[in-house]
Structure 1
Amino acid sequence: MELEVQVHGRAARRWIVFGIIASGAMFLVVGLVLAGVTASFLSDAKRTRGSVVALEWREDDHGASGKALEHDMPVAYPVVEFTTAEGMPTRFRSSTGSNPPSYKKGDQVEVLYRADSPEDARINGFASLWLLPLIFGGTGLLTSAGGTAVATARRWRS
């Protein structure tokens, strides 16, 4: 009876390690896809100067319950105006916000945009271009590597 419990426990641990490696691999793939999307955007993006015309404050950082947590703070998203090469004035809200704000009203920023859809614009900065690929890719790499290390260590031990 005791041997049977040990065998089931060992199999469960094996599945848990496999699940950790698999979830890490999925995060890594998402990070690589996001990096590819960013690289594609950069390859044909036009560059121009824009101006931060406002900061849009949002309290959108909620816990798993969907309710605002006591320590949640509002996040400032810069709203940027720029003029395309064709002379069309365009305004967008950055998808990356922070607290304290990274920009203030009146700041001049370099804007990257697609000529065929200028509303698809981003501030040329590390956070707005590479933060999500780095978070997903880094999390996936560390999780997969950790799970693989545990699996390898368990294999050497047995």
Structure 2
Amino acid sequence: MFGLIGGGTLFFLIGLALAGESVSFLTSAERAHGTVVALEWRKDHDGASRGNRGDDEPMAYPVVEFTPAGGTRRTFRDSTGSNPPAYYKGERVEVLYRSRSPQDARIDGFASLWLMPLTFGGLGSVLAGVGTVVVLKTRRRPQTVRQ
């Protein structure tokens, strides 16, 4: 059970770190309008394990084109894919990017910014919580001696 608590705590801390990175990104990000120019269908899911989904259907990753302020047109593939696709070709999206490095861009959407922090943080909380409850429930209490 202590392994469950430790693993859950580690996942929770990873979730916090990812959330902190998203908050840091948001505080320094510039905004631009972009357009989904393609959907890149992939089965590898960027090496990320999706668990046992029961199938290995490809996921659609939006490829977005935008022009940063005073810059040249850029294209990026969002890091979050889905099936069915969350976006369609030609859809206008809001893009967040760092002015010093416009190649570091994301679609301004829940999945792009918060899916990984919430997944790790939520799973870690549940695992650590279950482990803690089990340990507390099974902990032996000292018995008093009666005379």
- The equivalent residue for 1:95 is 79
Please, which of 15, 20, 34 is the counterpart of residue 50 of structure 1?
34
Identity %: 57
- The equivalent residue for 2:132 is 148
Indicate the structure whose relative CO is greater, using CA pairs within 8 Å and at least 6 residues apart: 2
Cα distance change, pair 145–70 in 1 and its aligned pair in 2 (3 A): closer
Larger % of helix: which? 1
Q: Secondary structure at the match of 1:31?
A: helix
Query: CA RMSD for the aligned pairs?
Result: 1.9
- The equivalent residue for 1:72 is 56
Number of aligned residues: 138
**Pairwise CA distance, 1:112:** 0.1
Q: Deviations over 1:128-157 (max 9, x none)?
A: 100000000000000000000001101266
- The equivalent residue for 1:29 is 13
Q: Deviations over 1:21-42 (max 9, x none)?
A: 0000000000000000000000
Q: Which amino acid aligns with 1:28?
A: F
- The equivalent residue for 2:43 is 59
Cα distance change, pair 76–22 in 1 and its aligned pair in 2 (3 A): same
- The equivalent residue for 1:109 is 93
Q: Secondary structure at the match of 2:63?
A: strand
Q: Which amino acid aligns with 2:122?
A: G
Using structure 1 for the length normalisation, give the TM-score.
0.82
**Pairwise CA distance, 1:87:** 3.0
Larger Rg: 1
Q: Does 1:128 align with 2:116?
A: no
- The equivalent residue for 2:145 is none
Cα distance change, pair 53–82 in 1 and its aligned pair in 2 (3 A): same
Q: Secondary structure at the match of 1:140?
A: helix
CA distance in 2, matches of 1:18, 1:102: 39
Q: Which amino acid aligns with 1:38?
A: S
